Amino acid sequence: MPNAIVTGATQGIGKVIAEKLLTEGFSVAICGRSRTKLDAVLAEWQGMYPESKILAITADLGEKEQAYAFAEEVLAEFKTVDLLVNNAGSYLPGTIADEPDGLLEKMISGNLYSAYYLSRKILPAMIARQCGHIFNMCSVASLQAYPNGGSYSISKYALLGFSDNLRVELRPHNIKVTSICPGAVYTPSWDGSGVPPERIMESADIAAIVWNSYNLSPQANVETIVLRPVKGDL
């Protein structure tokens, strides 16, 4: 049975990606800062996917020690990781001139350091096997500045740069790195926004892209994927 880690998987895009992998026979490890949310998801999935091993571990991946501890616990159970989806992160708008002090640090920690720390701990096992696939959930905010993007956009630019560097480093080891840059996707964060769900993409669209990219031949890698709603960005 193949093994995957999906971060930021208690709701939204990450949860749907994890469910797609469980449907396809993967064992899956997830993490989150809320034990209550993790337990709710674990109970739901254990009923739906009784044959799969599911790990739900409390961790804040923006904190190095917690990210490393999470990785070590997963590797102790799984031994190998075939697929890593670095999806953890958050969005807070702002402008560089007047956003709250500390917002840059918060965005960089959650959106960049989480992927950096976890990847560093998982990579030795992938390199030893000379295979694996890492997906980093970037954004259209990684590609173009926009009003009120502020520190969030900075962090997503940085995550794309991390992905590009990691890909070059891992090519000799047959490990794939894919950056996914979606526009607006309907998740619980849009509740109450007044934006109709049919105007923007579905989380299942992102899960399908991950799954299809993972299933290419061993010699093929999709490096960067950009998805937008058919009517364009909001």
The predicted-structure confidence for 108-147, as pLDDT tens digits, reads as follows 999 999 999 999 999 999 999 999 999 999 999 999 999 9
Q: Which of the four pLDDT bands, split at 50, 70 and 90, describes residue 234?
A: confident
Residues with catalytic roles: 152
Q: What are the backbone dihedrals phi and psi of residue 94, each rounded to the nearest 5 degrees, phi first?
A: 170, 165
The per-residue pLDDT of the chain, averaged, comes to 96
Tell whether pTM > 0.85.
Answer: yes
pLDDT at 193: 83
pLDDT above 70 coverage of the chain, percent: 100
Q: Is the pLDDT of residue 189 over 80?
A: no
- Residue (of 145, 136, 229, 133) closest to 190 by Cα position: 229
Angle between helices 114-129 and 64-78 (to 10 degrees): 30
For residue 192 the two structure tokens come to 């109450």
Taking the C-alpha atoms of residue 109 and residue 30, their distance in angstroms, rounded to an integer, is 18
pLDDT in tens, 10-65: 999 999 999 999 999 999 999 999 999 999 999 999 999 999 999 999 999 999 99
Full set of structural domains in the chain with CATH: 3-227 (3.40.50.720)
CA 204 to chain centre: 14
Is 156 in a helix, a strand, or coil?
helix
